[in-house]
A and B are shown apart, each in its own frame.
Chain A
Amino acid sequence: MTQTSLSGTAGSDARLVPAVQISGVTKDFGEVHAVRGIDLTLEQGEIVAFLGPNGAGKTTTIDMLLGLSHPTTGSIEVLGLQPRQAISRGLVSAVMQTGGLLKDLTVRETVTYTASLFAHTAPVDDVLRTAGIESIADRKVAKCSGGEQQRLRFAMALLPDPALLLLDEPTTGMDVEGRRAFWSAIRADAEQGRTVLFATHYLEEADQYADRIVLISHGRIVADGTGSQVKALAAGRTVRATLPDAETYGLAELPGVDSVDVRGEAVYVHAKDTDTVARHLLTQTPAHDLEITARGLEDAFLSLTGDQDDAATYTDSIEGTPR
């Protein structure tokens, strides 16, 4: 295990270092427990979505990753370093949703200013070209559109070639085309080993573009997995079938069934193990026209984060809440 000793290790060992290692982190603001104990490891090259309602502890966690605040207990390492050390080596960048720009500087001045603060950066002109803001390089930031300002923030973040990129609502204000182009660029970066952690309210976006979704609620991680895993965790799937007199077949007694809805000739069975339900329906009953659908991520999100009082784990929240 060489992941924590950077000095003297060969370059090839670097890929063993997790991009992010959060261990038992809590953060209190006076009486408020913003983060109540988070353990999270991100490997290099992962694209991870950070989802959670406002006040869930997302922002607090990102601030701690950036070294803007310190955990009350627990430890945070970024590429085996303290967050501030990683920042000063240009290993971590972040793109804010708003602000963070001086209106009276030109686009080029802003990038040049930022570049001068790092020990090593990509050439300013290259970065302007990559971000597609070469043609507006001499324009004042105040005169740039929201989308142009967002591309400028992105250009600034990529200057030091960071190993970890933190994005806060990165595609707000972008159109569909812009959003697609943005994510294909992010993907290309991730293939080069860059780790991307993004906070988003676009649940679809998390589902489509992240390798992994981390759901946080009331200061705890309530789910961690791929989009379809998270969806399955939250509410299972629904089997719909045409089955007259469905009440007579005792479907609710099948293992893993949460609830049964009968609407006319159609029956909707909500279950964690829909395979068993489907097999039962097709072999033991005259059911036909079977459809199995996953719940949308939106439903998963609400189901996992809706629990107001105790920060229950996902298993608690699914069991005992028939839908």
Chain B
Amino acid sequence: MTTQTIDPTQRRVPSLGGFNLTVLGIELRRMLRNRRTIIFTLVLPAALLLSFGGQQGWDDKSGSGNVAAYILVSMALYGAALTAAAGGAMVAVERSLGWSRQLRLTPLNPVAYILMKAIVALTMGALAIAAVNIVGMLMGKAEMPTHVWIVSAIVTLFCTLTFAALGVFVGYVVPGENAMQILGPGLALLSFLGGVFIPLSQYSDTVRHIAYWSPMYGVSEIARAPLTHELPWFAVVNAVVWFGLFVAGAAWRMSKDTARV
């Protein structure tokens, strides 16, 4: 065996740039094992729904459903956004641990890596949405047509991609585990301002005009549109512009990332 040499011609490149289900499985298991992730993404939004969802006037009509349904969709959006942001921030944490560099010594294509991370973030977002919806169903107060439940859940899921990008961006700007310390309270504030927790009609004119420019406003209007049948044009502009800004910010920080870690 001593004369055996390694023959480069016999070596192959992995298909799909290294994209594979084993990694997806391990990444998902990782997220689900993390107690902090579970509490902030699955338990907290459901608990908020339990406390807000039964407030006075829950049975008032709202669009094609009732106020409880309106709150349910909002809480699902909050939970999914938080989850996606946490997933995005993990990219930066992994970089600070040198894991990204380790992965660059494998055939894994950066596009395949981002794609796998996005799928994990969306799956976790879907779990957060499902948790809120199941709690909402068990409460038995939210009422809306079945297709509205489904359509708003799917729309919410795609709205959360904005916050996955925000997570990556903040994760790069504030390295390490501190990113979530900023994202957690930050998203809660933005949710108050953007009308996720309290309808904008409750605010003064001044606050409301500021809210129209904040990143949670657009996505929350879009997520609730299947229920309310209302969607101001500037809400769509808001959602598109913030998505673009966060993706650009994340891409900018990632491309600046030449430091050897």
Chain A interface residues (CB < 8 Å from chain B)? 6-7, 9, 11, 14-15, 17, 44-45, 59, 63, 66-68, 79-81, 86-94, 96, 98-105, 109, 112-120, 156, 161-163, 191-194
Is A96 in contact with B101, judged by CB distance below 8 angstroms? yes
Is A91 in contact with B20, judged by CB distance below 8 angstroms? no
Q: Known contacts A59-B260, A100-B101; is A11 also within 8 Å of B7 by CB?
A: yes
Q: Which residue of B lies closest to A115 (CB)?
A: B22
Assembly CA distance A21 to B105 (angstroms): 19
Is A94 in contact with B105, judged by CB distance below 8 angstroms? yes
B4 within 8 A of A: yes
Contact residues in A for B15 (Cβ distance below 8 Å): 119
Assembly CA distance A118 to B13 (angstroms): 7
Contact with A along B80-109 (1 / 0, CB 8 A): 000000000000001001110111111110
Contact with A along B241-261 (1 / 0, CB 8 A): 000000000000000000011
Q: Which residue of A lies closest to B14 (CB)?
A: A119
Is A192 in contact with B2, judged by CB distance below 8 angstroms? yes
Contact residues in B for A67 (Cβ distance below 8 Å): 104
B3 to chain A, nearest CB (A): 8
Is A113 in contact with B98, judged by CB distance below 8 angstroms? no
Assembly CA distance A283 to B101 (angstroms): 63
Q: Known contacts A119-B107, A192-B4, A193-B6; is A112 also within 8 Å of B12 by CB?
A: no
Q: Known contacts A91-B11, A116-B20; is A66 also within 8 Å of B26 by CB?
A: no
B18 within 8 A of A: yes
Q: Indicate the size class of the contact surface on chain B.
A: 35 or more
Q: Which residue of A lies closest to B112 (CB)?
A: A117
B30 within 8 A of A: yes
Q: Known contacts A89-B107, A96-B101; is A120 also within 8 Å of B7 by CB?
A: no
Q: Known contacts A44-B5, A98-B98; is A11 also within 8 Å of B30 by CB?
A: no
B23 within 8 A of A: yes
Assembly CA distance A226 to B14 (angstroms): 39
Is A101 in contact with B9, judged by CB distance below 8 angstroms? no
Is A119 in contact with B98, judged by CB distance below 8 angstroms? no
Contact of A87 among B4, B106, B260 (CB under 8 A): B106
Q: Which residue of B lies closest to A109 (CB)?
A: B26
Assembly CA distance A93 to B9 (angstroms): 17
B185 within 8 A of A: no
B206 within 8 A of A: no
Q: Is the interface of B mostly helix, strand, loop or mixed?
A: loop
Contact residues in A for B97 (Cβ distance below 8 Å): 99-103
Assembly CA distance A127 to B23 (angstroms): 18
Contact of B23 among A17, A80, A117, A119 (CB under 8 A): A117
Is B14 in contact with A118, judged by CB distance below 8 angstroms? yes
Assembly CA distance A102 to B100 (angstroms): 10
Known: A89-B12, A193-B4. 9 other contacts (CB 8 A): A68-B260, A79-B8, A96-B98, A102-B97, A102-B99, A104-B30, A109-B29, A120-B11, A193-B6
- Listed residue (A91, A105, A117, A120) with the most chain B CB atoms within 10 angstroms of its CB: A117
- 24 A-B pairs within 8 Å (CB atoms) are namely A11-B7, A14-B5, A66-B104, A86-B8, A92-B105, A99-B102, A100-B98, A100-B99, A100-B102, A101-B98, A101-B99, A102-B30, A109-B26, A109-B29, A113-B23, A117-B107, A117-B108, A118-B14, A118-B107, A119-B107, A120-B11, A120-B12, A192-B5, A192-B6
Q: Which residue of B lies closest to A110 (CB)?
A: B26
Contact residues in A for B260 (Cβ distance below 8 Å): 59, 63, 68
Contact residues in B for A156 (Cβ distance below 8 Å): 102
Contact residues in B for A103 (Cβ distance below 8 Å): 97
A96 to chain B, nearest CB (A): 7
Assembly CA distance A101 to B105 (angstroms): 13
Is B102 in contact with A89, judged by CB distance below 8 angstroms? no
Contact residues in A for B146 (Cβ distance below 8 Å): none
Contact residues in A for B107 (Cβ distance below 8 Å): 87-90, 117-119
Assembly CA distance A206 to B12 (angstroms): 34
Contact with A along B170-193 (1 / 0, CB 8 A): 000000000000000000000000
Assembly CA distance A15 to B23 (angstroms): 34
Q: Which residue of A lies closest to B261 (CB)?
A: A99
Q: Known contacts A100-B97, A105-B30; is A90 also within 8 Å of B11 by CB?
A: yes
Contact residues in B for A89 (Cβ distance below 8 Å): 8, 11-13, 107
Is B6 in contact with A194, judged by CB distance below 8 angstroms? yes
A143 to chain B, nearest CB (A): 14
Q: Which residue of B lies closest to A66 (CB)?
A: B105
- Listed residue (B4, B11, B15, B99) with the most chain A CB atoms within 10 angstroms of its CB: B11
Residues of B171-228 whose CB lies within 8 A of A: none
B33 within 8 A of A: yes
Assembly CA distance A19 to B13 (angstroms): 19
Assembly CA distance A234 to B101 (angstroms): 37
Contact residues in B for A162 (Cβ distance below 8 Å): 6
Residues of B1-58 whose CB lies within 8 A of A: 1-2, 4-15, 18, 20, 22-23, 26, 29-30, 33-34
